[in-house]
């Protein structure tokens, strides 16, 4: 029964219970719809992220396939996976790391520099030995650096370390190529930092970014 008085409207208990139940049902439905919308948006976001990851992986594989010299399909697949993994770990743009690798070794199997740097990222054996454990690499001997996965893991960490030490990507790259001690000596003597290597890496990086912007 509804009582109408000057102070307002008073509902009987049964009607009040019904209205409360309706309110609770509507609230529960609203919460469900909001949660369902959130879950749907999250699912769509996850799917987009997976698609972008697959596209990135395809770009890396395409670069490797176009530039590599001497690697079989299985090795190209391993190389693709480890480059993607290391870029995620250290925040590298994959095309930047690919530009560095191509500059260092032309993506050619078994490369050894006149100074003794080995493999795709031209890592010195003493650097490989010192960083192997931290990189998750089982160091057997200097030949370990010719394993594509080991070389990329060690080289990626070595570069990251140099960037952190010098607080600069440019200086980190120069230290990676010329050696940390040599760069510190130049900086201490107020000599200009070498730019030729930097130019090669960044030119290759820009070239790869443009050429492999879209991969079908």
Is this structure's pTM higher than 0.85? no
Any domain includes 46: yes
Mean pLDDT across the stretch 115-143?
A: 96
Output DSSP code: residue 214: S
Any domain includes 98: yes
Report helix, strand or coil for 46: helix
Q: How far apart are CA 174 and CA 162, in angstroms?
A: 9
Q: How far apart are CA 209 and CA 2, in angstroms?
A: 74
| pLDDT attached to residue 90 | 97
Any domain includes 149: yes
Q: How far apart are CA 157 and CA 14, in angstroms?
A: 71
Any domain includes 63: yes
pLDDT for 5 beyond 50: no
Mean pLDDT across the stretch 74-81?
A: 95
Any domain includes 183: yes
How many domains does the chain divide into?
A: 1
- State the residue range of the domain holding 200: 3-211
CATH at 115: 1.10.530.10
Any domain includes 104: yes
Any domain includes 216: no
Any domain includes 60: yes
Q: How far apart are CA 153 and CA 137, in angstroms?
A: 8
| pLDDT attached to residue 35 | 81
pLDDT grade for 19, boundaries at 50, 70 and 90: confident
């Amino acid at each position: 029964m509804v009582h109408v008085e000057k102070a307002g409207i008073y509902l009987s208990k049964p009607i009040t219970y019904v209205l409360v139940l309706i309110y609770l049902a509507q609230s529960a439905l609203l919460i469900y719809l909001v949660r369902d919308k959130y879950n749907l948006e999250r699912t769509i976001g996850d799917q987009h992220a997976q698609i972008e990851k697959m596209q990135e992986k395809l770009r890396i594989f395409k670069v490797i396939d176009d530039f590599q010299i001497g690697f079989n399909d299985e090795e190209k697949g391993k190389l693709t996976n480890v480059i993607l993994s290391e870029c995620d770990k250290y925040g590298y743009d994959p095309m930047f790391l690919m530009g560095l690798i191509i500059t260092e070794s032309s993506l050619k199997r078994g490369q050894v520099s006149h100074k003794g740097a080995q493999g795709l990222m031209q890592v010195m054996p003493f650097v490989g030995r010192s960083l192997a454990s931290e990189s998750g690499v089982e160091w057997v001997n200097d030949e370990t650096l010719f394993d594509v996965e080991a070389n990329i893991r060690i080289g990626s960490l070595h570069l990251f370390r140099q960037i952190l030490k010098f607080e600069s990507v440019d200086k980190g790259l120069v230290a990676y190529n010329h050696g940390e001690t040599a760069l510190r000596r130049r900086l201490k003597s107020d000599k200009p930092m070498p730019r030729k290597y930097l130019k090669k890496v960044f030119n290759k990086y820009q070239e790869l970014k443009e050429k492999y912007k879209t991969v079908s």
